[in-house]
Chains A and B, each alone.
Chain A
């Protein structure tokens, strides 16, 4: 029996080693920290019974017929995926010599498949992801430069795109991608709620103090009382002044408005614990726990988009892709106005975070694949007006200015906003790790009424500095 026990012990130890060294399960469901752009709704989303039945976007779409299709990987799996599919279909009809296998994956799955496919020598011919991640992907050797392929022969000109985006996708002097669109935060205003509160939707608040006044007038509990009134029931709020949305966009926008940032300009020093950054995050903490005009940033809250759909939030900072939701809810679209995101800073300083979907060719793609990718990249960049139907801003300035695009109010507004006050994230080879660190710190700072904002940001700052200090 003793021997049997020893054998069992040995087996268990081996199993243990295998289990621990084997790492995590290969596939995991969608990462809540990185939701698909157009599908960031949490599980407890309230469903509008009058909304049309959504048609799911196929994961793999084939466009055209041929023996050797261009394989395209991307993460456009939300409502924008359907618009993207129509664009690819149009391309295939106009370019019968190039057919496409378009494969859409949730972003976390995409970023697992992409490096392993390149390392295994079986990359797709073309990829679409975000400008913010370009420096990290390029520093891992996963991207081929686009200068020779696309820009040197004049197929496209770098001057045709937003300079800030071009800066974000330039690594060591080489342009690693071609912008497909500009996207990011936009202000969505429920004009009916504003009018009901006696506020003018054409004359929005211009700084943090004005914003708080407006938000207090807009927020009501189930008894119709405002936060400034005696007996306000903060645990049973009916209408919120503003919804707290994806911190990945909300927080950088606020930090920049207050003159802060996650790091300094050359990314050598973490600045998340600067007075400006603390004031910016404290402002959101106050909106949630002092003024009770924004729902607390804790899990289990109803997504701002669903609150908005049900007329339960007046101001919503959300993505340009929210147009997809508006397309599905024409009644809601009719009472919605878009504008530059509110300035929450005391001096009214304006800034908004923008990003871009970019197109590129992975390392190791053969000449034929790269040539097909070049054709498709040029087509998608030049025909961005059709893409604007998804709510995203076409990347080429000339296309942005076209009548077709200007006819879409939210896209025209977003284009103007990004060109005037838009800022992309600072590129860094450890971008995602830095982003995770500050998102965690901000999450801690906003987790409860008692949270110490300064201490949480200081802890996050130390982690970011340690990342920046790495060789």
Chain B
């Protein structure tokens, strides 16, 4: 029995077709190429380098680094501070995301229809978001100050209450930071919700009104289902942003009292740049990324199933 190695006519034409497709698509790839180059050099490479460094006891000036395998990850399992900072971060994230979403949705619902001053209010609510985090930190220190802060001024003078150490009490420091962050960041989800609400056809509300639906039922059966794609976007982006909280505790409380407000990213920063344990800090970054990826995928799968388009 003999077999032929010569290409058949069908094979040749298939190859020609593929080549033709490639030639047709080539300009697209060329257009993407510059961005992909920068993306690879400045983002993909550092990610893989970070993964690599997490497997070493990395000292910045050594030429031959000591490979430690998964030892950094094993150490993380027994790291009490990492656990504390992860709990702090998750607590902060849940509080901030929840308050942000509820508040942003409420305000967006109120500002959906134009009325006298509504444009001004939209600007006003969004305005804190343009502040730098350093300015936010200075404002927050003043606001929450035990002796001279405006919050305690009202607590002691109007409510006749005691001076509260908002930033010095381990039980309330994270809610204080969370409220500060909500004030700073809720303008963005508000705007996104506003856009989502305005894209819902008014005819649906009119039909509901004719059918006798009240505001609650209208919100539950029309507004909520139809803004689920927006909600998905807001929840996921807010989750990602607030899991990486760094500057607010760094500036306002320095992570204290004790470790009560230290976040994972703050711990990561200190591990790398104060303790010079770059391998361990990279392991912290990788674990944080994995946790965020898993939670994001779960959020997507839960919320996608409830999304209507």
Contact = CB atoms under 8 A, between A and B. Distances in A.
A29 B60 contact: no
Interface string B213-255: 0000000000000000000010011001001101100110110
Given A44-B142, A136-B276, A298 B257 contact: yes
Interface in B248-303: 250-251, 253-254, 256-259, 265-266, 268-270, 272-277, 281, 285-286, 288-289, 292-293, 296-297, 300
Interface string A159-172: 00000000000000
B167 interface: yes
B81 interface: yes
Interface string A420-448: 00000000001011001000110110011
14 contacts: A12-B300, A13-B297, A20-B288, A21-B50, A23-B285, A31-B254, A44-B147, A112-B273, A115-B61, A140-B59, A141-B62, A433-B277, A436-B274, A447-B169
B163 interface: yes
Given A12-B296, A22-B46, A301-B147, A140 B251 contact: no
Contacts of A8: 233
Interface stretch (B1-9, B93-101, B112-120, B133-141): B133-141
A111 interface: yes
A17 B47 contact: yes
Question: Which secondary structure dominates chain A's binding surface?
Answer: helix
Contact of B145 (A9, A28, A31, A300): A300
Nearest to B140: A43
A285 to B, nearest CB: 14
Given A23-B272, A140-B59, A447 B257 contact: yes
A5 interface: yes
Interface in B122-157: 134, 137-138, 141-142, 144-149
Interface in A13-67: 13, 15-25, 28-29, 31-33, 43-44
A154 interface: no
Contacts of A350: none
Interface residues of A, number: 57
A468 interface: no
A342 interface: no
Contact of B165 (A9, A15, A299): A299
A115 B59 CA distance: 10
A257 interface: no
A153 interface: no
A302 B258 CA distance: 19
A4 to B, nearest CB: 10
B37 to A, nearest CB: 16
B258 A441 contact: yes
A155 to B, nearest CB: 27
Interface of B: 43, 46-47, 50-51, 59-62, 80-81, 134, 137-138, 141-142, 144-149, 162-163, 165-170, 233, 236-237, 240, 243-244, 246-247, 250-251, 253-254, 256-259, 265-266, 268-270, 272-277, 281, 285-286, 288-289, 292-293, 296-297, 300, 304, 307, 309
Contacts of A444: 170, 257-259
Contact of B168 (A108, A432, A447, A462): A447
Question: Which secondary structure dominates chain B's binding surface?
Answer: helix
Given A24-B265, A29-B137, 9 more contacts: A1-B309, A12-B236, A17-B293, A20-B289, A21-B46, A28-B251, A43-B141, A115-B276, A140-B60
A267 to B, nearest CB: 16
A111 B258 CA distance: 23
A265 interface: no
Interface of A: 1, 5, 8-9, 12-13, 15-25, 28-29, 31-33, 43-44, 108, 111-112, 115-116, 118-119, 136, 140-142, 235, 296, 298-302, 363, 430, 432-433, 436, 440-441, 443-444, 447-448, 456, 459, 462-463
A433 B274 contact: yes
A33 B253 CA distance: 10
Contacts of A44: 141-142, 145, 147-148
Contacts of B257: 298-299, 443-444, 447
Contacts of B272: 23-24
A325 B296 CA distance: 53
B253 A20 contact: no
Contacts of B288: 20
Nearest to B264: A20
B142 to A, nearest CB: 7
Candidate in B240, B266, B286 with the most chain A CB atoms within 10 angstroms: B240
B293 to A, nearest CB: 6
Contacts of B237: 12
Contacts of A299: 146, 165, 167-168, 253, 256-257
A24 B268 contact: yes
A111 B61 contact: no
A9 B258 CA distance: 38
A289 to B, nearest CB: 13
Contacts of A21: 46-47, 50-51, 285-286, 289
B277 to A, nearest CB: 8
A33 B281 contact: no
A9 B273 CA distance: 33
Contacts of B270: 436
Identify the 8 closest CB pairs spanning chains A and B, nearest first. Answer: A298-B168, A141-B61, A300-B146, A20-B289, A444-B258, A24-B269, A32-B254, A433-B275
A17 B289 contact: yes
